[in-house]
Amino acid sequence: LTVLGIESSCDESAVAIYDTSAGLLGHHLFSQIELHQIYGGVVPELASRDHIRKMIPLIKQLMNEVNQSQIEPIKVDAIAYTQGPGLMGALLSGSAIAASLAYAWKVPALGVHHMEGHLLAPMLETNPPAFPFIALLISGGHTQIIRVDDIGQYKLLGDTLDDAAGEAFDKTAKMLGLGYPGGPIVSKYALNGDPDRYHFPRPMLDRPGLDMSFSGLKTFSLNTWQNAVKQGVDTDQTRADICRAFELAVAETLTVKCKRALIATGINRLVVSGGVSANRAIRASLTALMQQRGGEAYFPRLEFCTDNAAMIAFAGAQRLQAGQHNPTLNFSAKARWPLEQLNPPSEFA
């Protein structure tokens, strides 16, 4: 089964081809970061228009490359596209392209949940996790701890009560004048930061349960920076020290919450995915946790932590292989779509 994946939920236009026997055949991504940078965040209308401009050329390029690398031209059996959650216009751009190609090629098009894509992304690596596992989804819009028993069997164990972890990284970067998107910049600054200069709180660790909160940390970053400005020490070193303290607080909070989830469920496999899972300190802290517990931590390769189409092609292929299909030419997008509402593929067969 050869599946073309299309991702357009936010500001990345991405395409990939995944084959259930040969694996990932190729993938391409065009990031709109430069387009949105001057606005300090993603402008939805600009994102939609750019997906329309970029997606077809990306698909052509990918198909050409993959065909040149194969003995025989490949035959795409199905198209998997991101149906939600995300920006409505951006999602509709990708869905419409997917549905049109499906019509032209006479193959099914399947809507995939963006977070299911993130969640399954570590399975693209060698040594994929077996079910069941605990998943920590840490991205720009989500921070969730999920019990995963199989594809489409998701139980939400913990969630953020306010900002997502990635959002807190982005806002901290913005307050320090470091630009957008914040995660990669904050982690780069943190490398040169003194871990002992500032101590940030560990939100909600004093309370039982698996819910989290990150808006307080963002405010703590702001107050710390404003004090530094008042004292005339608003330097790059101070920025680095704040980034380090902030990153340590996020890493420790996530690690303690994951530990609680593992103890409560008796599961000893931890999957970590979404853009924030690219963070070095967070990866190290969660890897150490699993080493202590004699379990295993699974991460996507760095380029598949943030948005990509390989994860969408993969998730779609898993569902199609399990018998799920979408016989109509209808397509729709869902801006909001809780992961827990998904069903296992067998229920569509």
* 276 burial level (CB within 10 Å; 0-12, 13-18, 19+): buried
Q: Cα–Cα distance between 302 and 253 in angstroms, integer?
A: 22
Please give the helix or strand (H or E) that residue 26 lies within, else none.
strand 23-31
Q: Which stretch binds ligand ATP (CB under 6 A): 104-112, 155-163, 164-172, 292-300?
A: 164-172
118 annotated to a ligand binding site: yes
Q: Cα–Cα distance between 253 and 250 in angstroms, integer?
A: 5
Residue 171 near which of ligand ATP, Fe ion, Mg ion, none (CB within 5-8 Å, type-dependent): none
158 annotated to a ligand binding site: no
Question: Which residue has its beta carbon closest to Fe ion?
Answer: 307
| Secondary structure class of 63 (helix, strand, coil) | helix
Q: Are 81 and 112 in contact (CB under 8 A)?
A: yes
139 annotated to a ligand binding site: yes
Q: Closest distance between Mg ion and the C-beta of residue 303, in Å?
A: 12
Question: Tokens 């409560």, residue?
Answer: 264
* Residues whose CB falls within 8 Å of the CB of residue 82, separated by 6 or more in sequence, listed in order: 6, 7, 8, 9, 91, 94, 95, 111, 112, 113, 114, 117, 312
Name the DSSP class of 130. Answer: P
Six token digits for residue 342:
């998904």
| Secondary structure class of 27 (helix, strand, coil) | strand
In the set 13, 48, 139, 324, which binds ligand ATP (CB under 6 A)?
139
Q: Closest distance between ligand ATP and the C-beta of residue 113, in Å?
A: 10
Rg (CA), the chain: 21
163 binds ligand ATP (CB under 6 A): no
Residue 26 near which of Mg ion, Fe ion, ligand ATP, none (CB within 5-8 Å, type-dependent): none
Q: Which stretch binds Mg ion (CB under 5 A): 10-18, 21-29, 202-210, 290-298?
A: 10-18
Six token digits for residue 294:
């004699």
For the chain, give the longest Cα–Cα distance: 68
> What residues from 28 to 87 belong to the interface with ligand ATP (CB under 6 A)?
86
Q: How many CB atoms lie within 10 A of CB 52?
A: 17
> What residues from 252 to 271 belong to the interface with ligand ATP (CB under 6 A)?
none
Binding mask 101-130 for ligand ATP (x = CB under 6 A): -------------x---x------------
> What residues from 307 to 326 belong to the interface with ligand ATP (CB under 6 A)?
307
183 annotated to a ligand binding site: yes
In the set 3, 4, 6, 10, which binds Mg ion (CB under 5 A)?
10
Q: Are 22 and 14 in contact (CB under 8 A)?
A: no
Q: Which stretch binds ligand ATP (CB under 6 A): 69-77, 213-221, 273-281, 341-349?
A: 273-281
Q: Which stretch binds ligand ATP (CB under 6 A): 32-40, 138-146, 205-213, 216-224?
A: 138-146
State the binding site for Fe cation: 114, 118, 307
State the binding site for substrate: 137-141, 170, 183, 279
Site residues (vs ligand ATP, CB under 6 A)? 9-10, 86, 114, 118, 139-142, 166, 169-170, 181-184, 187, 274-276, 278-279, 306-307
